Amino acid sequence: MTSEAQILALINVPNFNASLKSIAEKVLHQVRISTDDALVLFKEGEIGFLGALANYIRESKYGNQTFFNRNFHIEPTNVCVFNCTFCSYSRLYKNKEAGWELSIDQMMHIVKKYDHIPVTEVHIVGGVHPKMDLDFFCELLRQIKLHRPNLHLKGFTAVELDYMFRKAKLTRQEGMLKLKEAGLQSLPGGGAEIFNPEIRKQICEDKVDGAGWLDIHKTAHQLGMHSNATMLYGHIEKYEDRIDHMNQLRTMQDETKGFNCFIPLKFRNMDNDMSHLPEVSLIEDIKTYAVARIFLDNFAHLKAYWPMLGRNNAQLMLSYGVDDLDGTIDDSTKIYSMAGSEEQVPSMTTDELCDLIRDVNRMPVERDTVYNIIKEYN
């Protein structure tokens, strides 16, 4: 049965929920759904129905193609001036607890380890260390570009950037231009969390606010750079907050068209100041991914970040709107293993990642950072 026929079969049974039926009809006619519709989906849609809609959208865009890239991460430091309550990763700068701080030479050593490996991207993200300033990172970017000009440099959350620019006493545009001139090409999506100021006050009070996060991404888009967007879900936020967050992203994407993909990040509760909160269920994960795919009609891609979600659940999301499984990163990110993800050593070879995709009858496609196709693995 085609995914369209599957939806029609679901909604044409007698007494089917009228609100859900009207949302399904919007999806089939490519009409944007409203924030009220999204709330109905969260509250009344069961996962078979949500999956049918999300999968219809995903297959209309890409059929069975499922994207991944070959990348590695550099985490310059886990020392951080901020104190987000959900974070298991940072070591507070003021407490002088043991953390790591890599020099430029040490980071170049990591880059050189990949000299004979066909990676296309390096993802640079870490804590906010007061001594690692704009000039330090410009120098790092220049050295990487000099060493390997074709490696795409994706780096720095809006939180790191906001702090860097303020310290350098530069406007966001001036600061971003400096990084771009040094070689930065894209921004990752971190630091967005949940935009609602009431929630933000409780989980990450002192770092850049939602408006600032959006403005930094807009600045990058206006300079011709692309970026990703994330949402940290499954802690103290309500469905309304998730929808408001996605709505602000959708509105900005209408304007700039600069976001490549949306990445829902499930709150993991190990070893942080919110450990008392239970993690949400797999059903909640499925709902969140599916509603994101249906609501964010102007986002080309929906990514399940497997080091955080776990590879089996990420694979499952390929039936709920996801078309991208991020990269084949080896053991170069610590942020999720420290937060309690089942992926304690997040490493997957290209063959393993392709098998994961093929196992659910999808076709693995290697892409670069901006989704140019590098190779289809039939």
Q: Provide the binding-site residues for ligand SF4, judged by CB under 6 A.
A: 80, 82-84, 87, 89-90, 127-128, 159, 204, 207
d(CA 106, CA 113): 11
With CB under 5 to 8 Å by kind, the binding choice for 319 among ligand V47, ligand SF4, none is: none
User: Between 59 and 101, whose beta carbon lies closer to ligand SF4?
Assistant: 101
User: Between 254 and 273, whose beta carbon lies closer to ligand SF4?
Assistant: 273
Question: Residue with CB nearest ligand V47?
Answer: 190
CA nearest neighbour of 64 among 294, 323, 304, 306 = 323
CB 164 within 8 A of CB 172: no
CB of 159 to ligand SF4, least distance (A): 5
CB of 317 to ligand SF4, least distance (A): 23
User: Between 82 and 262, whose beta carbon lies closer to ligand SF4?
Assistant: 82
CB of 89 to ligand SF4, least distance (A): 5
d(CA 349, CA 70): 9
User: Between 124 and 128, whose beta carbon lies closer to ligand SF4?
Assistant: 128
With CB under 5 to 8 Å by kind, the binding choice for 232 among ligand SF4, ligand V47, none is: ligand V47
Question: Vertex 69, ends 107 and 132: CA angle to 5°?
Answer: 25
Range 143-157 burial, b when 16+ CB lie within 10 A, else e? bbbeeeeebbbbbbb
d(CA 329, CA 274): 27
User: Between 80 and 286, whose beta carbon lies closer to ligand SF4?
Assistant: 80
CB of 14 to ligand V47, least distance (A): 42
With CB under 5 to 8 Å by kind, the binding choice for 207 among ligand SF4, ligand V47, none is: ligand SF4
User: Between 188 and 364, whose beta carbon lies closer to ligand V47?
Assistant: 188
The one-letter code for the residue type at 190 is G
Is the torsion defined by CA of 343, 128, 203, 323 positive or negative?
negative
With CB under 5 to 8 Å by kind, the binding choice for 80 among ligand V47, ligand SF4, none is: ligand SF4
CB of 160 to ligand SF4, least distance (A): 8
With CB under 5 to 8 Å by kind, the binding choice for 127 among ligand SF4, ligand V47, none is: ligand SF4
CB of 2 to ligand SF4, least distance (A): 42
Please report, as ranges, the residues that interact with ligand V47 according to CB under 6 A. Answer: 86-89, 157, 188-191, 193, 228, 230, 232, 263, 265, 267-268, 272, 305, 326, 335, 339
Strand partners, 367: 373
CB of 167 to ligand SF4, least distance (A): 15
Q: For the chain, first and last CA: distance in Å?
A: 23
d(CA 165, CA 171): 7
CB of 75 to ligand SF4, least distance (A): 10
User: Between 321 and 346, whose beta carbon lies closer to ligand SF4?
Assistant: 346
With CB under 5 to 8 Å by kind, the binding choice for 82 among ligand SF4, ligand V47, none is: ligand SF4
User: Between 51 and 303, whose beta carbon lies closer to ligand V47?
Assistant: 303
With CB under 5 to 8 Å by kind, the binding choice for 245 among ligand SF4, ligand V47, none is: none
d(CA 319, CA 293): 11
Strand partners, 71: 121
